[in-house]
Amino acid sequence: MTDSVGIVKTEYAEFDIELQLESGRLLGPITLAYETYGRLDPAKSNAVLVCHAWTGDAHAAGRHTAEDRKPGWWDDMIGPGKVLDTERYFVICSNVIGSCKGSTGPTSVNPRTEKPYNLSFPVIMVRDMVRAQKLLIDHLGLDSLLCVIGGSMGAMQALEWGIHYPQMVRSIIPIAGTGRTSPMAIALNALARQAIFNDPMWKKGNYKTEHPPSDGLALARAVGHISFLSDASMHLKFGRRFSARDGMFDFFGQFEVERYLEYNGGSFVERFDTNSFLYLAKALDLYDVAWNFDGLEDALSHLRCPSLWFAFSSDWLYTPDQPEQIVKTLQALGKPASYHLVQSDYGHDSFLVEPEKFTHLIVEFLDRLQ
């Protein structure tokens, strides 16, 4: 029987340290927002770390109050009898540094100035996010992780965990990820950035919280959201239908797909900070698993644990050939890596829209580990 984890609470771990980042700069003190579901077994051997995507947060399952309309972003996956069965696993989800969802980021107060960091916040990389998560895992008293799993930016984190903490991680499951951000993905983020930079309310990052650069961020989100979809999914969801409220020959009349992007962008502005969006986009652009290694093979040679990879046929943001290159390299190195190309019309978002197409493989994989 499947069920919810019920009412959950976001916790906050404080670290009075200075973390050295890949840029060479120091960041500290650090706060990490996190949630846990299920119970740790006596041997501390059943912990699973869930890593979120670009604008995600630590709230992966359950509800914060009984009145919440929406559960956590991966509630379909986490809970009693679900893929990440909380009767078997102790599941952890941490918000990344650089975010605005409880962990230290551009909206946090800089202790040196007692003002928000804004653009004085240092540029971070995915590897820095993982180093900060390691602080949390140590704080929780864990010596090992049964699995690190995540989609999109979460897949990048899972791979970094496996490479940089091979003594701790017993398996990784990267979903809809890549080992290196492509020029096309960087170009799309560049358009998103320009949309924000050109909004006069941005004020070089020094906008007031109550007056954010809403138009720029909404447009930036729309650009990003297009990359999460696919031509097939847009045909399925919108087709060429014209908005019922507009006349076809009204110059400002819109197709349904335009109205959807407008609504999606507008609602995003209400829940996410602009500078955090920019910093996390920069981290995505900079991602290269071979950074500071002597190439891809050298980086992947540090991965010791089994890995299970998923790509999606219509994903044009992180196309299937990108994880396929990593899996081929791992297999050539004699590493235990398996790969599944999932047929789906829902683009990059397929892993959230059609999880039933691949989650049974995750269950089998984790069963074999235990």
Nearest to 34 by CA among 54, 55, 16, 60: 60
349 is in an annotated binding site: yes
Active-site position among 52, 227, 348, 350: 348
Active-site position among 57, 199, 273, 315: 315
Half-sphere exposure (Cβ direction) of 312: Cα atoms closer than 13 Å: 30
Give how far the C-alpha of residue 194 lies from the chain's centroid of Cα atoms, to the nearest Å: 22
Catalytic residue flag (residue 315) = yes
Q: How far apart are CA 182 and CA 184, in angstroms?
A: 5
61 neighbors 71 (Cβ within 8 angstroms): yes
* Cα angle value 293/298/300 (rounded, 5°): 105
Q: In what order do the strands lie in the sheet with 172-175?
A: 11-15, 30-37, 90-94, 47-51, 147-151, 172-175, 307-312, 337-342
221 is in an annotated binding site: yes
120 neighbors 114 (Cβ within 8 angstroms): no
150 neighbors 56 (Cβ within 8 angstroms): no
Nearest to 349 by CA among 63, 81, 55: 55
352, 276, 22, 58: CA torsion to nearest 10: -50
Nearest to 327 by CA among 182, 206, 179, 122: 179
Catalytic residue flag (residue 321) = no
Catalytic residue flag (residue 348) = yes
Active-site position among 152, 230, 307, 350: 152
Collapse the DSSP code of 295 into the 3-class scheme (helix H, G, I; strand E, B; otherwise coil) and give the result. coil
Residues marked as catalytic: 152, 315, 348
Which amino acids are annotated as binding site for substrate, given as ranges?
A: 221, 349
Which parts are annotated binding residues?
Answer: 221, 349
